[in-house]
């Protein structure tokens, strides 16, 4: 089953990565201006929209749930990249550098997913997509609290681990929706 999960993960990430790199060509790395807390708020907006669409079953702007989950994957990657950088770093990054950073964050997150899948027995496969949405929203609220505490935690994992979990939950949802 792990080989199947790996292939499914990679197929979803290929879709997300392609869109991310196309947007990098269109917009450059304008996202570098955003503080990590602003990225957390962007994630909240996307997850909240998914939840609203799940509950109301109608979109008035024409885009559905799948693009929002893809956005969550990509904003999580951006947040992790931003966490490694400082305001003194250049706003404009070379597209090849962006791709390499993207791939590094995805590999770290995939490695975490496999470690957790080993311990949890791929329980996500039996979950509802709406539960994955709720878990993402919970992780966002945790990150916001950590940010409000200026990054200080007593016993909890840091923000990057939460971004990785959100990314993986979004990938699981996309796998369950058969995105390839």
- In whole angstroms, how large is the CA radius of gyration of the chain? 16
The pLDDT value recorded for residue 88 is 85
How far apart, in whole angstroms, are the C-alpha atoms of residue 135 and residue 165? 9
Helix, strand, or coil (residue 149):
coil
Of 26-40, 54-68, 76-90, 140-154, least confident by mean pLDDT is: 54-68
Q: What are phi and psi of 59, to 5 degrees?
A: -110, 130
Domain count, the chain: 1
Of 42-51, 60-69, 78-87, least confident by mean pLDDT is: 60-69
From the number of C-beta atoms within 10 Å of its C-beta (0-12, 13-18, 19+), residue 132 rates as buried
Share of the chain above pLDDT 70, in %: 98
How far apart, in whole angstroms, are the C-alpha atoms of residue 80 and residue 102? 9
The pLDDT value recorded for residue 94 is 94
How far apart, in whole angstroms, are the C-alpha atoms of residue 166 and residue 133? 9
* DSSP annotation string for 49-83: HHHHHHHH---SSS--HHHHHHHHHHHHHHHHHHH
How far apart, in whole angstroms, are the C-alpha atoms of residue 162 and residue 43? 12
pTM: predicted TM-score of the whole model, two decimal places: 0.94
The pLDDT value recorded for residue 2 is 46
For residues 18 and 179, is the Cβ–Cβ distance under 8 A?
Answer: no
pLDDT digits (tens, 9 = 90+) for 105-125: 999 999 999 999 888 888 999
Residue 22 has pLDDT above 60, yes or no: yes
Task: Categorize the per-residue pLDDT at 3 as very low, low, confident or very high, splitting at 50, 70 and 90.
Answer: low
Share of the chain above pLDDT 90, in %: 81
Write out the residue range of the structural domain in which residue 166 sits.
Answer: 2-176
């Amino acid at each position: 089953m792990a080989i199947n999960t790996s292939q499914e993960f990679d197929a979803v990430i290929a879709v997300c990565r392609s869109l991310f790199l196309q947007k990098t060509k269109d917009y450059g790395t304008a996202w570098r201006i955003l503080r990590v807390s602003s990225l957390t708020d962007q994630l909240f907006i996307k997850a909240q929209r998914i939840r609203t669409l799940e509950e109301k079953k109608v979109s008035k702007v024409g885009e559905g749930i799948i693009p929002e989950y893809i956005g969550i994957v990509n904003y999580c990657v951006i947040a992790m990249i931003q966490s490694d950088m400082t305001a003194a770093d250049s706003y404009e990054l070379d597209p090849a550098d962006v791709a390499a950073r993207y791939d590094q964050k995805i590999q770290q997150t995939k490695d975490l997913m496999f470690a957790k899948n080993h311990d949890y027995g791929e329980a996500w496969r039996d979950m509802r997509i709406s539960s994955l949405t709720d878990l993402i929203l919970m992780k966002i609220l945790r990150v916001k609290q950590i940010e409000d505490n200026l990054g200080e935690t007593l016993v909890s994992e840091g923000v990057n681990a939460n971004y990785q979990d959100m990314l993986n939950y979004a990938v699981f949802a996309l796998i369950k929706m058969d995105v390839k």
